[in-house]
A and B are shown apart, each in its own frame.
Chain A
Amino acid sequence: MTADQRPAAPAAGPILRLDDLGVVFTTQSGEVPAVRGVSLLVEPGETLALVGESGSGKSTVALAAMGLLADNARATGSATVAGTEVVGAGEAALAGLRGRTVSMVFQEPATALDPLTRVGKQIAEVVRNHREMSAKDAAAEAVELLRRVGIPEPEKRASAYPFQLSGGQRQRVVIAMAIANEPALLIADEPTTALDVTVQAEILDLLRRLAAETGTGVLLVTHNMGVVADFADRVAVMYHGEIVETGPVEDVLLRPSHEYTRRLLAAVPRLSVDGEDLSETPRAAAPPIEAEPVVELDNVSVVFGRGRGAVRALDGVSLTVRHGETLGLVGESGSGKSTASRVALGLITPNEGTVSLFGTDLARTRSRARRALRAGVGVVLQDPVASLDARMTVGECVAEPLRVHRRALSARERQERVAAVLDRVRLSREVARRAPRELSGGQRQRVSLARALVLEPRLLVADEPTSALDVSVQEAVLEVISELQAELGFACLFVSHDLAVVQHFAQRVAVMRAGRVEEQGDTGTTLLRPETDYTRRLLAAVPVPDPVVQRSRRTERLATLAAGRTEATA
């Protein structure tokens, strides 16, 4: 511990300098190089975004700069923070640097804090790691930091446990810890990936303000090009452990020079905004007008729990999905969109209202008839790892619905159907013999899709089917779904938090908030000229991957918010 009251003054020159940095992981199957020959600079006060898809090595670079690599990783080359070498440094040197000269904000605010220690105490710990201060003064400093990161009633909140805070508030606490000693460099590893878009916008505003106040350099690791456009001065693109392109944000996002960057940007779904020419926006063909409803929720309410602890998850929700169309269900976490999809599946019985599937009231069916109805519904869930049985082969996973609902089929016929559906989702037939874990995320999600479609359902319920996937993979999966929908004509209930994806993929959209449908209508109308303030706020918070457009969107959003605030206080 040092006696310094203030952080070391940023030395002249870059605050972070990576020189030919390499990282190798030692695994059971041998040495795996994760990062090769990475060189980059972060100047004081600037934000460098490190972007790339999963497995590109961007997080590994961030951890290497903090000396926080796992035990089985070995770094080579050089990484200097404010002139101090991190590669090969001992714990004492690193501990003196971390939290004082360089600090970090992590992706998952739910697990980044010690669940059994009050948040004020966790912040005070970082303060006292680097400043000679009494416990009392450090506690007061923690309250002050909570105020700076915009936590309401910081005196009270300081004694809260992490589980008592929302995700956004937890991330603010992690940020308070990171800025506790006014570091010269802040490393943010996907700081908003786990958060809703409105919270994401707030957290990015906060980080931008804090960095500007103290002239802190920021290394921002992210896969979200909108976040990059919103925040970064310069961008470095990583691919397979190497940097393929570096440059100012306008250049990289608007005039990419490397082939990979071009492909990556092309795959990013862009949110169209009012006034734009929409003729180029790809969109699935409009469904036949007034086709028969496939699933219909009428004034449905769902209450979880009883008494004081009861939660009204759905409150008078009415939705209809027709033959051949896709209804996008959007909203922030906790808005009830997944609950609504489960009601449509007949997995949750509503407390009030009726659900009819294929024209039959679910409440009036007995278990056998209900099972027959369910055979007409396919489901794809968010996590392609968790939703496939790891002990089955891909072929068995896909064949399972046939075993349950088409018992008359012979083993041979079953195999033929599995092979045919694998063709449809553009997987090779060979895949049937492999285990799900041998496949990539996108392939696994296509296996889930094959399983959902093997019974040729009339309704497909897809709950965040692509949010665990990289953008290029997401594009391929969505394309497969659209093509099959055109071919097979199923209705699709598409749950997503990503407004841009819904805009491209769904013909109609329902915006949910706190268990109610805020508004619904044609995607082209509702997501371009929304009727409610809530949808407007939601859309305004989505960062678009164009730095120039995003800058004006941000100014506009902040002005609207400020106006709303003065109105509220007036």
Chain B
Amino acid sequence: MSTPTYLFRRVLQAAAVILIVTVVVFALLHSLPGGPARGILGPQATAQQIEAFNHEQGLDKPLPVQYLYYLGQLAHGDLGTSYTLNEPVSQLITERLPKTLLLTVLSAIVGLLLAVPLGMWQAVRRNKPVDYVITTLSFIAYSTPVYFLGLILVLVFSQALPWFPSQAPQGHTLGQVLSDPQGLVLPIAAGAASMVAVFSRYMRAATLENLSEDYVRTARAGGSRSRAILWRHVFRNSLTPVVAMLGYYVPVLFGGALVVEQLFNYPGMGLLFWTAAQSSDYPVLLGCVLIIAVATVTGTLIADIVQRIIDPRVKAGRS
């Protein structure tokens, strides 16, 4: 398949997936008990007040109508208005999305930069003490809830050892956030930990598999040293399956951001989603979910394209 045809098809698929996500999430949110009126007007509100609110917000119309109305607005970039903050959702998201992207992308980069060499090191030293130690630490990091890990990080590196602030940078713009790199260290560490744990396992498995491939023996028979073979051949071959996994990891990263932002009081998407969920702020919730869906689909799309670049067989449809 030629590259333009491929891209066109993949983007169409992505759009279809996002549309389905909006339907599912819309249906789920509207089937929750309580409803937004109760959340906004409080437990004291009378039935009349609630009815008036529902009418005003269009919440008394049939669900499909509400959904179509929502989609129509979406086409114009209008994600609705927050019930609680009285601000357009699109504006809330534009303000906060870059911060979350900054946090997740940096966490992902740091995580991968650690996970890939760690996994390879483990594979080369398979069943040696280093392998066992890293494996143990990986399982601990993976099974510890992010909020607990974050708390420990704060206790150790902010309270006991006053190296880093316990609060993330509070600036509104990316520039302001980046001007306080110290404050980003602990949130990124908390976000990257599970990434390191998971991807070092993938990398270890992929490297082990490739080390036993015939081409490694061919390279050795040609007089190449182990180290050269590892970096020239095994590294790239092992990276392809790991890159494929990366796309599917985007929602996990966002999930992590939800907790990390709450913990370090970092005003990003996660915090927005958290508060919106607590006050049944439907427009905001839908907007956030939509963004996460778009991010996930984009993530897999990018992973697929990167795979096409590093593995020529994918383009030829051979694997």
Contacts and interface: CB of A to CB of B under 8 A. Distances in A.
Interface in B201-232: 213-215, 217-226, 232
B30 interface: no
A103 B220 CA distance: 10
A111 B218 CA distance: 9
Contact of A115 (B223, B232, B237): B237
A113 B222 CA distance: 12
A534 interface: no
Interface in B231-259: 232-233, 236-237, 240
A146 B14 CA distance: 44
Interface stretch (B35-43, B70-78, B309-317): B309-317
Interface in A96-132: 96-100, 103-104, 106, 108, 111-117, 122, 125-126, 129-130
A340 interface: no
Contacts of A115: 215, 237, 311, 313
Given A106-B214, A116-B310, A163-B312, A126 B223 contact: yes
Interface in A468-487: none
Contacts of A130: 223
A125 B222 contact: yes
B9 interface: no
A34 interface: no
A129 B228 CA distance: 10
B222 A163 contact: no
B224 A125 contact: yes
B214 A112 contact: yes
A129 B213 CA distance: 21
B128 interface: no
Contact of A129 (B215, B217, B224): B224
Contacts, number: 84
A197 interface: no
B226 A98 contact: no
**Which secondary structure dominates where chain B touches chain A?**
helix
Contacts of A92: 225
A32 to B, nearest CB: 19
Contacts of A122: 219
A149 interface: no
B214 A111 contact: yes
Contacts of A104: 218, 221
B206 to A, nearest CB: 13
B312 A99 contact: no
A129 B310 contact: no
Contacts of B240: 116
Q: Indicate the size class of the contact surface on chain A.
A: 20 to 34
A106 B217 contact: yes
A99 B318 CA distance: 31
Nearest to A101: B223
A358 interface: no
Nearest to B214: A111
A95 interface: yes
A397 B312 CA distance: 41
A99 B221 contact: yes
A243 interface: no
B223 A177 contact: no
Contacts of B215: 111-115
B222 A129 contact: yes
Contacts of B237: 114-116
Contacts of A177: 218, 222
A98 B225 contact: no
Contacts of B232: 117, 125
B170 to A, nearest CB: 46
Interface in A169-192: 174, 177-178, 180
A104 B219 CA distance: 10
B68 to A, nearest CB: 38
Contacts of B225: 91-92, 95
A111 B213 contact: yes
Given A125-B232, A163-B312, A163-B313, A99 B214 contact: no
Interface string A58-71: 00000000101000
B221 A66 contact: yes
A111 B209 CA distance: 13
A161 B226 CA distance: 22
Contacts of B311: 115-116
A103 B240 CA distance: 30
A114 B225 CA distance: 15
Contacts of A178: 221-222
A288 B120 CA distance: 66
Given A115-B237, A116-B237, A116-B310, A95 B223 contact: yes
Contacts of B318: 163
A365 B56 CA distance: 66
Contacts of A98: 220-223
B319 to A, nearest CB: 8
B6 to A, nearest CB: 14
Contacts of B219: 114, 122, 125
Interface string A131-152: 0000000000000000000000
A95 B224 contact: yes
Interface in A209-225: none
B317 to A, nearest CB: 8
A177 B237 CA distance: 20
Find the residue from A96, A100, A112, A114 having the highest chain B CB count within 10 A: A114
B213 to A, nearest CB: 7
A117 B218 CA distance: 13
Contact of A113 (B218, B223, B312, B316): B218
A97 B222 CA distance: 9
Given A129-B223, A130-B223, A174 B233 contact: no
A96 B225 CA distance: 9
Nearest to B217: A68
A213 B233 CA distance: 32
Nearest to B1: A309
A127 to B, nearest CB: 9
A95 B226 CA distance: 9
A126 B222 contact: yes
Contacts of B233: 114, 116-117
In order of increasing CB-CB distance, the 7 nearest A-B pairs are A99-B223, A126-B222, A99-B222, A111-B214, A129-B223, A104-B221, A114-B215
19 contacts: A66-B221, A91-B225, A95-B220, A97-B223, A98-B220, A98-B223, A99-B223, A111-B213, A111-B214, A111-B215, A113-B215, A114-B233, A115-B311, A116-B233, A116-B240, A116-B312, A122-B219, A126-B224, A161-B313
Given A106-B217, A108-B214, A116-B237, 20 more contacts: A68-B221, A91-B225, A95-B224, A99-B223, A103-B221, A111-B213, A112-B214, A112-B215, A114-B215, A114-B237, A115-B215, A116-B310, A116-B311, A117-B232, A125-B222, A129-B224, A161-B312, A163-B318, A174-B218, A180-B222
